[in-house]
């Protein structure tokens, strides 16, 4: 990388941290419990969400998250992955009647000509 601009201060800090950690622990492995925390989808929370959704299936995820003290994303994961619940809305459409068939055929023939 002869033409790349290197941030030597950042590089030196990283190297010094690695050397210090190796001197302390004789290893470069991370400590247990360091890093991102585990997901909060515990069986108790999942069951709590299931009960609340059984009571009122029209509850929004935002409102549900406030009730169970979880994030919106965690509630969404519980609903989709653990409870296999997906959002949907009923759509009202017109019902086709037997009298509609000739009109549809007539329109199709007109359109094709």
pTM, two decimals, is: 0.52
pLDDT of 45: 93
Torsion, CA 89, CA 93, CA 96, CA 100, rounded to 10: -160
Q: What is the pLDDT of residues 69-111, one digit of tens each?
A: 999 999 999 999 999 998 887 888 888 899 999 999 999 999 9
Greater model confidence, 1 or 63: 63
pLDDT band at 1 (very low <50, low <70, confident <90, very high): low
Which of 5-14, 21-30, 34-43, 96-105 has maximum average pLDDT? 96-105
CA atoms of 42 and 37, how far apart (whole Å): 13
């Amino acid at each position: 990388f002869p033409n790349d601009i290197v941030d030597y201060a950042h590089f030196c800090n990283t190297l010094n941290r690695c050397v210090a950690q190796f001197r302390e622990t004789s290893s470069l492995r991370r400590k247990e419990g360091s890093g991102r925390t585990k997901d909060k989808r515990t069986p108790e929370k999942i069951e709590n969400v299931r009960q609340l959704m059984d009571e009122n299936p029209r509850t929004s995820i935002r409102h549900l998250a406030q009730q169970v003290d979880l994030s919106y994303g965690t509630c969404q994961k519980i609903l989709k992955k653990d409870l296999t619940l997906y959002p949907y809305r009923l759509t009202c459409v017109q019902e086709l009647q037997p009298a509609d068939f000739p009109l549809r055929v007539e329109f199709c023939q007109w359109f094709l000509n």
